[in-house]
Amino acid sequence: MASKIQDRTLGYRICKRIVDFYTHRSYRKIQIEGTENIPSDGCVIWSSNHTNALMDPLVSLASTRRPKVYLARADIFRSSPLIVKILTFLKIMPIYRIRDGFESVKHNDEIIDHTVDVLTDNTPVCLYPEATHRARHSLLKLSKGIFHIAFAVNGKTAGTKPVLILPIGIDYGDYFRYRSTALIRFGKPIDVSGFLQANSELTQPQQMQKLRDILAEKMSELIAFVPDDEDYDAVWEYAKLKSGNREYYKRTLSECERIEGRKLKGLLGLQAVNRHAIAEALAIRRDDPEKARKLFADIDAQRVWRIQHGVSVRSIARPAGRLRTIARTFVSLLGLPYFLFSGLATLIVWLPTLFILRRVDDDAFYNTARMGTRFALSWIYVLGLGITFLCTMPLWTAVIFILLLLPAYSYIYDYREYARRTISDIRWLISGRKAVSC
């Protein structure tokens, strides 16, 4: 009997554990919230925002132990038969778009049949209804593909299983810096079967439009959502400036926890404060357009200046002061020898990474490239240098050096981030500028 794409093979299980390990190593912290909302039964379609290229599916894959099947644009399947085999092994199926040609779109009937089979086997299918990735805290207009699939699955299951769409939001600390943070949130599922019964008087296009509005609203509630208009940069900068201020953060977090009726820890608390600050900025724009115009202009001018001068928004929102800056500089110098050792030891990984990044046109793929080269090459330096140390050094000395090797690659990026913030603090201190009052 031919295996199905959703079958849980031993090879896939081993591969998933390894990939999940490297995904977690790609971030200082991955925080997963709302897993209680993930249905244990039914035909469940995962619907996530799409901001960080291939890191989005990797983060969602690592969020639970269950295998998942992904739908991806069909053009990536046209490379070679080997690529098709690899993508199938990774549980990725093609979905055709109108831009692929009307003849190609006809193949979607077969894909939907496969999708029904996957879903009825209690295996989630993951989709990105924005249909493309974009590094912004907003949402593009959702495509109708996800609803066509949901409606088709509902028709084929004939009420034997509920069809559910699970809204997902992923927020990153930084889209382009390796070893940043990731927050993935699962919202309450949308019962498509129940929705269609309750809205049977509407035409299918009307049902899709209404369901699209519901899903977009639910997804926007799971991220630090900023309206995608001419004030986007200023509003997001406002939010970062406010949430970076310690007093504002503590006061706002306490208020958010009171409203939510629960503790909001870690990245979830930061997102709540960011969402509050965004709402605050939008309220200013609504209630006093002239004040907002001037405030946003000042914030945007400061944003342009700090980017040009390599100053972090954190340095402006939370000035370090002379003593703290001196202390951070001292700590940076203490960590420098291990940074140099780590850089030399992991040369075989980060040097090819630099070579690859120079040929990547889309910045959103930077972290994908970094993780990919680490996944492919890190075992070489650990195994090669480990054997070298054991053969050329006393046992305990070799063991110490091997232990130093294990966190070396992550340390390179963590140290660079710490040093970057320290240099940013120094630049802001030297500039003598006053932060925009907001």
Buried b (16+ CB within 10 A) or exposed e, 239-251: bbbbbbbeebbee
The structural domain count of the chain equals 3
Q: Which residues pair with 125 in a beta bridge?
A: 45, 69
386 located within any domain: yes
Full residue range of the structural domain in which residue 261 is found: 232-308
Q: Whole-number mean pLDDT of the chain?
A: 91
Residue 188 has pLDDT above 90, yes or no: yes
pTM: predicted TM-score of the whole model, two decimal places? 0.92
The CA distance from 435 to 10, in Å, is: 56
Task: Please indicate, yes or no, whether residues 82 and 186 belong to a single structural domain of this protein.
Answer: yes
Q: Do 135 and 250 belong together in one domain? A: no
Do 107 and 17 share a domain, yes or no? yes
Residue type, 406: L
Residue 299: both structure tokens together: 């914030």
Domain identity same for 30 and 116: yes
Question: Strands 180-186, 163-172: parallel, antiparallel or unpaired by DSSP?
Answer: antiparallel
**Domain for residue 438, yes or no?**
no
Do 27 and 143 sit in the same domain of this protein? yes
CATH number of the domain within which 70 lies: 3.40.1130.10
Q: What is residue 266's predicted lDDT score, i.e. its pLDDT?
A: 96
Please tell me the predicted confidence (pLDDT) of residue 99: 62
Confidence check: pLDDT of 202 > 80? yes
What number of CA atoms fall less than 13 Å from residue 167's CA on the CB side?
A: 22
- Picking from 256, 275, 308, the residue at the C-terminal end of a domain is 308
Is 98 a residue whose pLDDT tops 60?
no
Specify the pLDDT at position 267: 98
Q: Is residue 437 part of a domain?
A: no
- Specify which residues 172 forms β-bridges with: 182
Higher pLDDT, residue 112 or 119: 119
What is the reported pLDDT for 283?
Answer: 98
Assign 127 to helix, strand or coil: strand
Domain boundary among 258, 273, 308: 308
Residue 4 in any domain: the answer is: no
Indicate whether 208 and 236 sit together in one domain. no
Separation of alpha carbons 173 and 273, rounded Å = 14
pLDDT at 1: 44
The yes-or-no verdict on residue 252 having pLDDT over 80 is: yes
Is there a domain that residue 376 lies in? yes
Residues 66 and 338: their CA atoms lie apart, in Å, by: 38
Query: Distance of alpha carbon 162 from its chain centroid, rounded?
Result: 29
Assess if residue 436 is contained within a domain. no
Do residue 66 and residue 38 come from a single domain? yes
Question: Do 29 and 167 belong to one domain?
Answer: yes
Whether 161 shows a pLDDT value over 90: the answer reads no
State which of 220, 254, 279 marks the end of a domain. Answer: 220
pLDDT of residue 157: 82
Q: Which helix (H) or strand (E) holds 171?
A: strand 163-172
Q: What angle do CA 31, 52, 179 make, to 5 degrees?
A: 55
pLDDT above 70: percentage of residues in the chain: 95
Judge whether 128 lies within some domain.
yes
Tell me the pLDDT tens digit for each residue of 175-184. 999 999 999 9
Neighbours of 30 (CB within 10 A): 18
Residues 6+ apart with CB under 8 A from 5: 69, 88, 91, 93, 114, 118
378 and 245 in a single domain? The answer is no
Q: Is residue 227 part of a domain?
A: no
